[in-house]
Homo-oligomer: A and B are copies of this chain.
Amino acid sequence: MTAPKGRKDKADASRVRILDAAAALFRERGFAAVSLRAIAAAAGMQAGSVYYHFESKEQIVVEVLNLGIAAVHRAVAESVAALPTSAAAAEVIGTGIRSHFRALFQFSAYTSANVRIYGQVPAAVRAANLPVRRGYEALWDGILDRAAAAGAVRPAVDRRAFRLMLIGSINATLEWFDPDRGDVADLAGRYAAILLHGLLQPGEDAAWAS
């Protein structure tokens, strides 16, 4: 982020500092264990000041949760949209998987905050995050439905269950994979190979075979 210019940019910069601090702390300790004072301190201000930028602690966590998904959604949507319309199902899905992994670790404070705490935040927070979650799920459903319509998907596969398995399995890697020690693209390739083998008709995943 460039140096702030003008008032609007200064408020934006403070806002980002608050969100960055909150995401890192929420992912590490959970929503309830992180005080406004701790977030403010990490953002370089006092707790009362946070209320100039956000109405409540809950509003902060909703934003963190939304940003966690938005980053991944954008990455997958853009990379898939950039493929030629003639791309094979395996290529489309494989690309989506790769992009999901890339964004997952690029914005890991936000994405892992979401993965870790979504299930334990107040119900109102979950409800506020739900539309964004549904949007990302719909993106994948679209990808999988198009693959099925092209005849690439094995008929026995329940596509909803597959999508749940795909997102769940990949997101679980946040808990153990260290991008400073391993290659995210390599990990993505391995997961794509396994997942595509379970999804597609024999021969459709040849380019991704492990």
Mark A residues whose CB is within 8 Å of B. 27-33, 116-117, 119-120, 156, 164-165, 168-169, 171-173, 175-177, 190-191, 193-195, 197-198, 210
Contact = CB atoms under 8 A, between A and B. Distances in A.
A120 B194 contact: no
A209 to B, nearest CB: 11
16 contacts: A27-B119, A27-B120, A28-B119, A30-B31, A30-B33, A31-B32, A32-B33, A117-B120, A119-B175, A164-B173, A164-B176, A165-B173, A165-B191, A171-B172, A194-B197, A197-B198
Nearest to A176: B164
Contacts of A171: 172
Contact of A29 (B32, B168, B198): B32
A197 B209 CA distance: 11
Contact of A173 (B31, B120, B168): B168
Contacts of A198: 190, 193-194, 197, 210
A197 B205 CA distance: 14
Contacts of A156: 210
Contacts of A165: 169, 173, 191
